[in-house]
Amino acid sequence: MGAITEIFRAFGPQYLAQYPDMPLAHKKTINAIINCRSGEFGVVVYQCDGCGQHRLVNRSCGNRHCPQCQYNKSRQWLETQLERRLPGHHFMLTFTVPEQLRPFCRSHQRAAYGAMFKAASGAIKKLVKDPRFIGAELPGFTAVLHTWGRQMQYHPHLHLIVPAGGLSADRNRWLPSANNFYLPVKALSKIFRARFRAEMIHSELVGSIDPTVWKIDWNVNSQAVGDSEATLKYLAPYIFRVAISDSRIIDVKNGEVTFSYRKKESNRPRRTTVDTFEFIRRFLQHVLPSGFMKVRHYGFMSSSCAVSWAKLRFQILTVLAALQGERVSLTVLSPAKNQKPSMPKPRCLLCGGMLLYLFSLIPGQPCRGPT
């Protein structure tokens, strides 16, 4: 059992009792973490192929905010994205809302997060068509919502992984951007702000927002990252966990939690100590609305795009080869597929034999066995 789970089991019931009017999603998350792998969600029955003994393993909760449940999902997502990554240069764009807007976003998460996705994607789609920059009709990118800072404070922003270019109107040509410049961030910032405001007007929520946020500069950052592999590996852990990992918990005692963090652009580890209720509060403020998708694919990165992955890769490689005075080799039309590391198999604690799955016992459901 991890340190975060221990904190919730020790102090979660008191937190629930003290704040009974918290959002339902927060209550579900607390209960899921407390009961994860406790037997509350049933058991999985295995049989050892060595000694023949039966072994019972408590089922996990499966909640996307539970720190015990998401490692395999994160790993599977990363493997899929690495297989789908495109050749050539990439950028990571970060869209951040002003600090004055954060209280509103926290109180209206579904509307605010949805507006952030629409505003950021709309800004890119508008500017990428400008012939001064790329002149492409169809960009493509993957956007990831990230809501926390290094000390678990509330800091909503979007990270976008963007291939350096776009497709022509007829979808038959790849139009590259420069390797060190994608789109002007000042223009992106202005359009991002304007489109977010338009979404708030449409949702009839603009009256709940401090008017000064429309008069200050919004922050958009663009960073050339070369191949997308390192960026995908950076983002993967943030997609299937919330705010903090067990490895950062240093100590829990006397009703306080001490955890480590690093300041921006510094590798020196630091530590901070907060009350356990404050720790739980910071954790829960990053719980997403039920069913909300925090990862979205746009344009030619979307599964609904009519341009096949093979054709898209060929178009990009053709342009890259032409720039280097080379021909496209058919052997590079598909990315090299590394053999996926196999998932660790459960082993018997007595003899070390392989545990073979027999069936699952889930409360309120029929017995589930292998098909």
Place of tokens 């790993």: 75
Whether residue 175 sits in one domain with residue 39:
no
Whether residue 238 sits in one domain with residue 182:
yes
As a whole number of Å, the end-to-end CA separation of the chain is 31
Whether residue 108 sits in one domain with residue 126:
yes
Neighbours of 313 (CB within 10 A): 21
Whether residue 227 sits in one domain with residue 134:
yes
- Of residues 326 and 112, the one with the higher pLDDT is 112
Average pLDDT value for residue range 85-108: 95
CA 192/CA 158 separation, integer angstroms:
12
281 pLDDT higher than 50: yes
Cβ 42 vs Cβ 362: under 8 Å: yes
- Of residues 263 and 250, the one with the higher pLDDT is 250
Average pLDDT value for residue range 133-144: 96
Distances (CA, A) of 46 to 42, 53, 261, 348, 350: 13, 8, 40, 9, 14
Tell whether 281 is covered by a domain: no
Q: Which of 43-52, 235-244, 290-299, 348-357 has the lowest mean pLDDT?
A: 235-244
Most confidently modeled of 124-133, 227-236, 241-250, 301-310? 124-133
Whether residue 91 sits in one domain with residue 184:
yes
Whether residue 227 sits in one domain with residue 93:
yes
Neighbours of 221 (CB within 10 A): 15
**Residues 310, 312, 314, 317: what is their CA dihedral angle, to the nearest 10 degrees?**
-130
- Of residues 50 and 242, the one with the higher pLDDT is 50
Whether residue 112 sits in one domain with residue 37:
no
Number of domains in the chain: 2
Whether residue 81 sits in one domain with residue 60:
no
Tell whether 333 is covered by a domain: no
Indicate the pTM of the whole model: 0.88
> Which residues have CB under 8 Å from 367's CB, separation 6+?
359, 360, 361
Confidence (pLDDT) at 327: 58
pLDDT tens by residue, 19-34: 999 999 999 999 999 9
Tell whether 30 is covered by a domain: yes
Tell whether 216 is covered by a domain: yes
Cβ 235 vs Cβ 144: under 8 Å: yes
Average pLDDT value for residue range 323-328: 66
Give the pLDDT band (50/70/90) at residue 2: confident
Confidence (pLDDT) at 186: 97
Whether residue 129 sits in one domain with residue 206:
yes
Cβ 184 vs Cβ 190: under 8 Å: no
Distances (CA, A) of 215 to 98, 197, 210, 211, 329: 11, 11, 10, 8, 52
According to DSSP, the β-strands at 165-167 and 256-262 are: unpaired
Q: Which of 206, 189, 185 is nearest to 112 (CA)?
A: 206
Average pLDDT value for residue range 147-165: 94
Average pLDDT value for residue range 53-77: 84
Average pLDDT value for residue range 167-188: 95
Tell whether 200 is covered by a domain: yes
Whether residue 193 sits in one domain with residue 124:
yes
* Beta strands per DSSP E along the chain: 43-48, 54-58, 90-96, 140-148, 154-163, 165-167, 174-176, 219-226, 249-253, 256-262, 269-275, 295-299, 355-361
Whether residue 150 sits in one domain with residue 112:
yes
Cβ 67 vs Cβ 33: under 8 Å: yes
What domain range includes position 164? 71-243+286-307
Average pLDDT value for residue range 340-361: 82
Distances (CA, A) of 285 to 109, 155, 229, 242, 272: 10, 10, 30, 10, 18
Q: Which of 55, 85, 142, 3 is nearest to 354 (CA)?
A: 55
Confidence (pLDDT) at 315: 94
Tell whether 181 is covered by a domain: yes
Neighbours of 293 (CB within 10 A): 11
Average model confidence (pLDDT) across the chain: 90
Whether residue 220 sits in one domain with residue 183:
yes
Average pLDDT value for residue range 335-341: 52
CA 133/CA 222 separation, integer angstroms:
14
Tell whether 158 is covered by a domain: yes
Tell whether 369 is covered by a domain: no
Confidence (pLDDT) at 340: 55
Q: Write phi, then psi, for 361 (nearest 5 degrees).
A: -115, 110
